[in-house]
Homo-oligomer: A and B are copies of this chain.
């Protein structure tokens, strides 16, 4: 008899394609797990794993079946898949998330975007399904740099600037870049040009050494008058528009990362909670109970937010601003708690296992570093999340679009 599933805790996929993705991934997990420690040590991207992913269709998991993909459409199931990968290696899951996330948002463009966006999306999605297109997001500007588009004079654009924290960059074939285009006499417009890796003027800059998530291939990408055809640019509103409609896309892009931190916490728990000789100490019993309770709450909370996003995401009948907020608010509640609970679980696991974990290569030491990434991820960091949630609760004026808000924030080098 198969293991009973605990409902509402990201324990299993809820759609058939989701289940198929889990089945395919399960064959890769041993290799991913065995690469986790050396790749973390060396800051090495698991190129072979992604080659295998490409071969087995994993890179097209979130591409619609009509376009050749596996057709996983539920955020819940994507998160479960990332959870399983993160149990083996969080860095690999983070990189894979970048591809899954692009699949979901490009599918949205393909279904609901204007015709040129549909064509662009279809081209990329078919490439992802064939394992040929690897598409990264590049959102965060390097301190001091503002990434900008300007007309090239013949209907296209030129892109200049520098992005940091671009995950999966070592194998990327395309980058979806957040860029501003100043307009004389009007508000600054926001765009998302999609740039091919071999575009002139584009360079991927090696050398990032993270505290954790060290095998995620998180690098800087610089653009120096990089030409972008007009058809490869998605419109993303304007700075200061305070449009909450954008929150739907932001939620969809990022919410599945909750699965990654659930996987990190679960991995830490499973390394810790094992029968050992002798009577467990009082503190061990207390911490183990707290670990299991927190992990359960973490998984249940993430699951609820994912199901909410899955329910609202296809709703074209709702007010778009309202839908954006109704997707983002549960996501942010869940994100705040998942980040806090995952860090607490991992920390208590180190305490239970003891001094043996205080070695760079110990899996729990890696998880202690990896888990800390969660609170820095947009949308939103803890600090921005407090602003968002309190503005919602207290009905305060606030620009909830973090891309827009960042565009006008003073640069402080952080």
Contact = CB atoms under 8 A, between A and B. Distances in A.
Interface of A: 4, 6-9, 140, 143, 165, 208-214, 273-278, 280-297, 299-301, 303-305, 307-308, 311-312, 318, 326, 329-330, 332-334, 336-337, 341, 343, 347, 350-362, 365, 368-369, 372-373, 375-376, 381-390, 392-396, 409-410, 412-414
Contacts of A293: 332-334, 336-337, 389
A296 to B, nearest CB: 4
B284 A383 contact: yes
Nearest to A414: B356
B211 A292 contact: no
A165 to B, nearest CB: 7
A150 to B, nearest CB: 27
A286 B282 contact: yes
A414 B376 contact: no
B312 A301 contact: no
Contacts of A301: 296-297, 300-301
21 contacts: A211-B358, A211-B362, A282-B282, A282-B285, A282-B387, A282-B390, A283-B289, A283-B383, A285-B394, A286-B386, A288-B390, A289-B336, A292-B333, A295-B333, A296-B304, A297-B301, A297-B341, A300-B305, A358-B372, A368-B372, A369-B369
A286 B288 contact: no
Which label, helix, strand, loop or mixed, suits the secondary structure of the A interface? Answer: helix
Given A7-B307, A210-B360, A211-B357, 8 more contacts: A4-B312, A7-B304, A8-B308, A282-B285, A283-B285, A283-B289, A285-B390, A286-B287
Contacts of A294: 337
B410 A285 contact: no
Nearest to A366: B211
A274 B395 CA distance: 8
Most buried by B among A293, A343, A356: A293
Contacts of A413: 356
A296 B410 contact: no
A87 to B, nearest CB: 17
Contacts of A360: 209-211, 214
Nearest to A212: B358
Contacts of A369: 211, 369
Contacts of A9: 304, 330
Nearest to A310: B7
Contacts of A297: 297, 300-301, 333-334, 337, 341
B209 A361 contact: yes
A111 to B, nearest CB: 22
Contacts of A280: 282, 390, 394, 396
Nearest to A208: B359
Nearest to A309: B7
A294 B341 CA distance: 11
A175 to B, nearest CB: 19
A332 B293 CA distance: 7
Contacts of A143: 356
Given A8-B307, A311-B7, A300 B334 contact: yes
Contact of A211 (B4, B347, B368): B368
A387 B396 CA distance: 19
Given A283-B383, A337-B296, A353-B414, A288 B389 contact: yes
A274 to B, nearest CB: 8
